[in-house]
């Protein structure tokens, strides 16, 4: 083994929330030589790419931000409870400028491949410009929902109008005025976009494959007194969200819904419904995710809400989810979603009752044997979640093994941040970590801090290599799967279960630990304290 000095101590891939924070810690805290590569022309990641109408965060803004810049927590003023994409992008630009991060980020540069050099213990990283750089550590900050899923609909190339995927909207926006628009999909993205598009367009047709349970976001200005109180309590807030289950100030009702009277639970449901946001999903009765009977009671309330809101009973029935328990798919937050289907210019085409999409034609879409004509088609068809962005990097670990090979039956990771056979690689919010089941910045900060501490430890102990052991990894995979099998989550054909992509092996992608991201943090800290148990250091 030689000890060739790499170009960089670390290469970070991506300049969204996670890449910016990783760069900051490694460069400014550890004093390392770090370079970040970013495909976009500026920082932002998810918030750079997702520019569709209505794009905004679904977590409350006071906790959807970095907590490591305490002064910025005091200074920054969010305009709303759930700010829109441009505002979040402005925030990330501000963070990058304030900490002078851009000088170490190379924009408009995609990582096209990387292989681990076993001789020199470093990664050779290939860039879209043709350059190759070397780094001791390779850290992926590529996001969890960044590999666009454009299903292989027959005939897309024939369509004479314009089409867009929500995750790749043009920077100049799209003018829907006087246009006949199709939206394919009814996930969290479509639920945000459809009401906005319907306000502009001449006509909107929504193609629904699976109906979703939506709850109101209740966006708006936040009471200045509450803003003030939160700013005064940030130390407490940060401690609470870090130790919490979901990285939010939401806590389950410590009771079975089956033990409540109809009046009592109706009161609680109304309270959560009125509060808006994720309360209904993440602060409901504790057996909601475990007992079908409990779940049915909660789902019934939401079904009533849909029937009460949507005027046409036939449309309402189409919008009522049939095949999966409530909460087992990501909760979409809505602003006038159900109300939008009361508009004269909105039509719902439901795969189950009207027939699914057969093909894209020159003039529009054929579904259920019927032709629909459009000027614009919007694909709100989601992502190849979690494993997709990592596989797209074309990484080669020891022996030239690829992620396609080692993940042929679904992801295998240790703690969701390391992969056996891929030394010196860290995956921020990787598969089998809490990631998407939390308020993302909380999960990101936990991973970034842990990785930074780990690299510091390696440096101090003179190690040039760290790798998860296959045993520790397989125990982690078994643990992830055991926990989720105790819940109702596997009953849904969700992207959490890898079920949204044809041919993707069915596997639960995130980690739903018994104590959520708070418990996971403790577990990761214990592993570090035991000298990085489950890893080999050399």
Strand runs labelled E in 55-131: 105-106, 111-117, 122-127
The dihedral sign for the CA sequence 346, 304, 380, 143: positive
Q: Which is closer to ligand N01, CB of 129 or CB of 155?
A: 155
Q: Which is closer to ligand N01, CB of 124 or CB of 330?
A: 330
Beta-ladder partners of 125: 114, 133
What burial class does residue 120 get, using C-beta atoms within 10 Å of its C-beta: 0-12 exposed, 13-18 middle, 19+ buried? middle
3-state secondary structure of 67: coil
Q: Which is closer to ligand N01, CB of 328 or CB of 424?
A: 328
Q: Which is closer to ligand N01, CB of 495 or CB of 535?
A: 495
Binding site for ligand N01 (CB under 6 A): 57-58, 145, 151, 184-190, 192, 209-210, 330, 357, 380-383, 436, 495, 500
3-state secondary structure of 241: helix
Beta-ladder partners of 395: 114
Q: Which is closer to ligand N01, CB of 315 or CB of 528?
A: 315
What burial class does residue 458 get, using C-beta atoms within 10 Å of its C-beta: 0-12 exposed, 13-18 middle, 19+ buried? buried
Question: CB of 56: closest distance to ligand N01 in angstroms?
Answer: 7
**For ligand N01, which residue has the nearest CB?**
187
Instruction: Say if CB 168 and CB 179 are below 8 A apart.
Output: no
- Which tokens in the block code for residue 186? 């009814």
Q: Which is closer to ligand N01, CB of 154 or CB of 267?
A: 154
Q: Which is closer to ligand N01, CB of 138 or CB of 188?
A: 188
Residue among 479, 38, 20, 519 at smallest CA distance from 245: 519
Question: CB of 39: closest distance to ligand N01 in angstroms?
Answer: 18
Give the separation between CA 176 and CA 167, rounded to whole angstroms. 17
Q: What is the dihedral of CA 55, 60, 64, 70, to 10 degrees?
A: 140
Beta-ladder partners of 470: none
Question: CB of 495: closest distance to ligand N01 in angstroms?
Answer: 5
């Amino acid at each position: 083994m030689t000890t060739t000095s790499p170009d960089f101590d670390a290469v970070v891939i991506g300049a969204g929330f996670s890449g910016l924070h990783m760069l900051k810690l490694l460069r400014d805290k550890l004093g390392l030589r770090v370079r970040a590569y970013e495909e976009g022309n500026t920082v932002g990641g998810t918030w750079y790419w997702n520019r569709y109408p209505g794009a905004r965060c679904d977590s409350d803004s006071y906790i959807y931000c970095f907590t490591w810049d305490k002064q910025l927590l005091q200074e920054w003023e969010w305009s709303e409870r759930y700010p829109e994409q441009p505002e979040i992008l402005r925030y990330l630009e501000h963070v990058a400028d304030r900490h002078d991060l851009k000088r170490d980020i190379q924009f408009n540069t995609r990582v096209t491949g990387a292989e681990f050099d076993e001789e020199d213990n470093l990664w050779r990283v290939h860039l879209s410009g043709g350059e190759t750089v070397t780094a001791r550590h390779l850290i992926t900050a590529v996001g969890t929902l960044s590999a666009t899923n454009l299903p292989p609909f027959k005939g897309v190339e024939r369509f004479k109008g314009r089409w867009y995927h929500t995750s790749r909207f043009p920077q100049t926006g799209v003018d829907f005025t006087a246009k006949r628009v199709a939206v394919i999909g009814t996930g969290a993205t479509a639920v945000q976009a459809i009401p906005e598009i319907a306000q502009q367009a001449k006509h909107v047709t929504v193609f629904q494959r699976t109906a979703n349970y939506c709850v109101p976001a209740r966006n708006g200005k936040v009471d200045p007194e509450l803003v003030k109180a939160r700013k005064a309590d940030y130390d407490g807030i940060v401690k609470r969200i870090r130790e919490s289950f979901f990285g939010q100030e939401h806590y389950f009702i410590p009771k079975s819904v089956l033990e409540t009277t109809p009046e009592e639970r109706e009161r609680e449901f109304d309270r959560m419904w009125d509060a808006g946001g994720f309360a209904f999903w993440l602060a409901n009765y504790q057996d909601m995710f475990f007992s079908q009977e409990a779940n049915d009671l909660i789902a019934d309330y939401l079904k009533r809400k849909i029937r009460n809101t949507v005027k046409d009973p036939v449309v309402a029935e189409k919008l009522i989810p049939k095949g999966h328990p409530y909460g087992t798919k990501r909760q979409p937050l809505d602003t006038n979603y159900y109300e939008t289907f009361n508009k004269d210019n909105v039509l719902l085409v439901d795969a189950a009752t009207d027939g699914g999409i057969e093909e894209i034609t020159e003039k529009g879409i054929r579904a259920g044997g019927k032709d629909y004509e459009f000027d614009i088609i919007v694909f709100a068809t989601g992502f190849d979640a979690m494993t997709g962005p990592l596989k797209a990097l074309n990484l080669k670990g020891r022996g030239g093994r690829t992620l396609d090979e080692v993940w042929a039956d679904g992801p295998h990771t240790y703690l969701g941040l390391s992969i056996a056979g891929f030394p010196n690689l860290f995956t921020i919010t990787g598969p089998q970590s809490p990631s998407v089941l939390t308020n993302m910045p909380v999960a990101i900060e936990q991973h970034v801090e842990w990785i930074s501490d780990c690299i510091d430890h390696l440096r101090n102990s003179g190690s040039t290599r760290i790798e998860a052991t296959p045993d520790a990894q397989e125990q982690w995979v078994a643990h992830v799967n055991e926990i989720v099998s105790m819940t109702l989550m596997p009953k849904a054909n969700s992207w959490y279960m890898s079920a949204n992509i044809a041919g993707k092996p069915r596997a639960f992608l995130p980690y739903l630990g018994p104590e959520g991201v708070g418990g996971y943090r403790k577990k990761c800290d214990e592993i570090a304290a035991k000298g990085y148990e489950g890893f080999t250091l050399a």
